[in-house]
Structure 1
Amino acid sequence: MPTTLPLPPTAECYHALVARNAAYEGRFIAAVRTTGIFCRPTCRARKPKAENVEFFATTREALVHGYRPCKVCAPLAATGSDAPAFVAQLLARLAADPATRIRDEHLRALGLEPATVRRWFLRTHGLTFQAYQRLYRLNTAFKQLQSGSPVTEAAFGSGYESLSGFQESFRTVFGAAPSHSRQQQVIDLTRLDTPLGPMVAAATAAGVCLLEFTDRRGLETELQDLSRRVQAPVVQGENPHFGPLRAQLAEYFAGTRRNFTVPLHTPGSAFQQQVWQALTRIPYGHTRSYGHQAATLQRPQAVRAVAAANGQNRVAILIPCHRVIGADGKLTGYAGGLWRKQRLLELENGQPTLFTDKK
């Protein structure tokens, strides 16, 4: 498996992508949410808006997240001039017919040694050529399901020979049965920029179910738990709730919005729901102690439980857990960092100009 360097910061990656900086070849892969395509840094295709791009360290990560390789820059080909000629040949065949299965006997018929092909893909991209084909077929099927195709059509149309094999592979990659991905729901995931740093937002058809700063500890685990609770896979993509969310957050940070009207979808226990509802009743510009919140819920002895449920809130800012402070008036734990909590409280007390400064 190739050795990968740490992924550069998002802003640095986007700057390199716009500049088509060849020095970043091999450092990141750019995935475009609006097209479902991933590219190398030097791709000649039209550059997307920053909010529509996310970056991965490897092509494998992009594939697992449901993206397909760009036909313009061929990101699965080697970044140097030593790319074997067979790479372009094989990728062209798959692009022309995603349902095709290029087996070892087909490779030999093309004059290629299967072990050579396998080693090259594994060394360059961290997955074998057969694994790449499987992901490519699944990604194709997923897009078909999302557009309303029946499961059987998506399965056989993407090259699977049995429904059971398709369903097992689909569940392994996407964490849900194929029928769930269309008939039930999907958790759409996007990134958005704020004056306090980038955030991750997730939403179902019912409403926004997650809004967290990207450097929150345990964010990946939180997304996995959310997927389990909603019984839906998390996929990159737009959602009707993201537009209003972006607009209302911009108004909030500009100091012109005090209340949010974006629908929320917050799965949790009955007690957690009570705690989160109590948070939304704390007026803009005011703070409450954990003890006050416990008393509000008529659970004065449950201060620690209230504090724990407060910390399990997945929807920052909209469910204003930042308005809860210690009994002594000091700021206490906040998943986004105490400095952000301080800035949010300052904003709500009439100091929006602070957001023109750097941390």
Structure 2
Amino acid sequence: MIRDDEHKQEYYRALVDKKSEYEGVFYVGVKTTGVFCRPTCPARKPKYENCEFYATSKEALLASFRPCQRCRPLSHPNQVSELVTQLVEAVENNPEKRWKEQDFKALSVDESTARRQFKKRFGMTFVEYARARRMGLALKNIRSGEKIIDTQLASGYDSSSGFRDAFSRIMGASPTLLEDSKVLKAAWLDTRLGPMIAIGDESKLYLLEFVDRRGLELEVERLRKRTKSAIIPGLTEPIQSIEKELTQYFEGTLTEFKTPLFLMGSPFQKSVWEQLIQIPSGETRSYADIAISLGKPTAYRAVAKANGANQLAIVIPCHRVINSNGELGGYGGGLTRKKWLLSHEK
């Protein structure tokens, strides 16, 4: 989300004036309607305080906004193909759907063609688009902090059943069936590098990830299945603690996190994560270095796999592990973030 006041005011003026030169520069999410639009949308203009501005459509989707039916920001006939229009509409007809090969065949659509056209037009594949829409729905009430029941009718469905499906498939329970379950709470945290989701109970933090991380949906599902929990919106002491510590970290006043953590992994994975925590801020290690420190010098590939399975971004600093040749290597939150974090810590 764009937070700079100068840019926000500039974009709002462009929105009011319907300036076509801003097409592709930003999207606007309207909090009162739950939709996001192009700068030239013909609809009545919202008040400034009800607008949120995004650089990409994916950011708007993950922030729980759905495409406007008037300006069709993802399927304007002058900008995209009939195939893209067809698929965007298919997602809106069933936004909680997980797309599989047979679903493309049912629409007589070639999956590779859909992937290529979406990637070219929106910078993400169709499956990534559908996932972002689905995750946006599941994160909607977490982001707003409202009770689930209060957001059902605002989620874009004619009834509450679709919302419950989208939420429960990821978070683990229908909102009316939580009484008999162990409950974890989830909160949306805005950070300098983009929004994150934090999940924890009353004593420990279980998950901290960037909302746009690839595979987040599966991470959340795996967490709630292994802990046999339901996940609902809310705050706990560890979540409040990590929110405060992240603010200090990004301000440059904190280098060591104290929030209590719940490490959910195998003994080997936990041993790797414990080594990561010991890497001083401002320094890096290679996968081989970690393997040697564990007394298993040939296990660097296993170390890399355990590194990628970390569910507590920044706090367990997997971003401080790089390739032996000095290259950054991978990072679930994206290499741009990894580079920024390393630079920030130095």
TM-score (norm 1): 0.55
1:337 corresponding residue in structure 2: 334
Provide the C-alpha distance between the structure 1 equivalents of 2:196 and 2:284, rounded to a whole number of angstroms. Answer: 23
Is 2:64–2:139's contact at 8 Å kept on the other side of the alignment? no
Report the AA paired with residue 64 of structure 2: F
Q: Provide the secondary structure at the position in 2 that maps to 1:125.
A: coil
Output aligned runs, 1:24-173, within 5 Å: 25=33, 27=35, 55=64, 57=66, 61=137, 67-69=148-150, 75=154, 125=157, 127=159, 131=161, 173=174
Alpha-carbon shift at residue 342 of structure 1 (Å): 0.8
Report the AA paired with residue 302 of structure 2: A
Q: In the comparison of the two structures, how many residue pairs are matched?
A: 232
Report the AA paired with residue 286 of structure 2: S
1:258 matches 2:290: no
Is 2:34–2:65's contact at 8 Å kept on the other side of the alignment? no
2:275 to 278, 282, 286: 278
C-alpha distance 62-272 of structure 1, shift in aligned 2 (>3 A)? closer
2:106 corresponding residue in structure 1: none
**Residue deviations 1:14-41, cap 9 Å, x none?**
xx32xx5xxxx4627xxxxxxxxxxxxx
Q: Which runs of 5+ in 2 are unaligned?
A: 1-25, 37-44, 51-62, 67-91, 97-136, 142-146
C-alpha distance 203-297 of structure 1, shift in aligned 2 (>3 A)? same
Is 1:176–1:231's contact at 8 Å kept on the other side of the alignment? no
**Residue deviations 1:157-205, cap 9 Å, x none?**
xxxxxxxxxxxxxx8636987422xxx4x22111111111111111122
Q: Provide the secondary structure at the position in 1 that maps to 2:209.
A: strand
Q: Which runs of 5+ in 1 are unaligned?
A: 1-9, 29-41, 48-53, 77-123, 140-170, 350-359
**Residue deviations 1:2-24, cap 9 Å, x none?**
xxxxxxxx9943xx32xx5xxxx
C-alpha distance 301-252 of structure 1, shift in aligned 2 (>3 A)? same
1:326 corresponding residue in structure 2: 323
Report the AA paired with residue 239 of structure 2: F
1:179 corresponding residue in structure 2: 180
What's the Cα RMSD here?
4.2
Q: Provide the secondary structure at the position in 2 that maps to 1:233.
A: strand
C-alpha distance 172-264 of structure 1, shift in aligned 2 (>3 A)? closer
2:241 corresponding residue in structure 1: 244
Provide the C-alpha distance between the structure 1 equivalents of 2:154 and 2:209, rounded to a whole number of angstroms. Answer: 30
C-alpha distance 322-27 of structure 1, shift in aligned 2 (>3 A)? same
What's the % identity of the aligned pairs?
37
Alpha-carbon shift at residue 70 of structure 1 (Å): 7.1
Provide the C-alpha distance between the structure 1 equivalents of 2:276 and 2:196, rounded to a whole number of angstroms. Answer: 20
Is 1:176–1:232's contact at 8 Å kept on the other side of the alignment? no
2:203 corresponding residue in structure 1: 206
Alpha-carbon shift at residue 216 of structure 1 (Å): 0.5
Q: Which has the larger radius of gyration?
A: 1
Alpha-carbon shift at residue 268 of structure 1 (Å): 1.0
Provide the C-alpha distance between the structure 2 equivalents of 1:276 and 1:63, rounded to a whole number of angstroms. Answer: 27
Q: Provide the secondary structure at the position in 2 that maps to 1:347.
A: helix
